[in-house]
Amino acid sequence: MRSLGPRMEVAVAMTILGVGAAVVTAMHLTWPEPELPAMAYSISGGEVSELEPFGITDISGGAVELTPGSEGARTVRLSNPNNVEIVVLTLEAQPGQPLDAAHNRVPGCPSAVLSVAPMAEPVTIPPAGAVDVAMVVRIAHDVPNACTDLVFPLTYSGRAART
């Protein structure tokens, strides 16, 4: 294989590093991307279900302000795009790394200071219908000062089955 020469090798390496830095910057500026919730439907009688995943939308509006040791609620709308009734068996929310007003991660504030209780009971959703449920959000008693005025992104996931 033919060598490009020292100057050309440096130019190629700088170009590769520049493109890599642009990709890392773009990923940072768009973090956190919402993730598609993990959906699963049960299979009965050996038939594969052709159901579409149910929708999960946080309709609470703005952030809930919590003081150390307190709890609040998030209202979540579960929607059924199918033409058959489904039952949502589980719904959970996982807190992500907290963000400041400029959407930057704050390493001095762990996501573990916030917890969200899973949905207490299964919920039945009619065909092409929707149901609102409340999720209880709790903040720890011993919250570091770095957590003041931060926003915790939540990633929702759940499982459903045909009724």
Q: How many helices (H) and strands (E) does the chain have?
A: 1, 7
pLDDT for the residue 49? 57
pTM of the model as a whole? 0.68
DSSP 3-state of 157: strand
Residue type, 29: L
Q: How far, CA to CA in Å, does 109 sit from each of 11, 26, 146?
A: 41, 24, 6
- Cα–Cα distance for residue pair 105/109, rounded to 1 Å: 9
Write the pLDDT tens digit of every residue in 101-112: 888 888 899 999
pLDDT for the residue 50? 76
DSSP 3-state of 93: strand
Is the pLDDT reported for residue 121 higher than 80? yes
What tokens appear for 2 in the block? Answer: 């033919």
Query: Residue 76's closest CA among 89, 65, 92?
Result: 92
Write the pLDDT tens digit of every residue in 12-45: 444 444 444 333 333 333 333 444 444 444 444 4
Q: Given its phi and psi angles, is residue 5 left (phi above 0), alpha (psi -120 to 50 degrees) or beta? A: left
Write the pLDDT tens digit of every residue in 54-89: 999 999 887 778 889 999 999 999 999 999 999 999
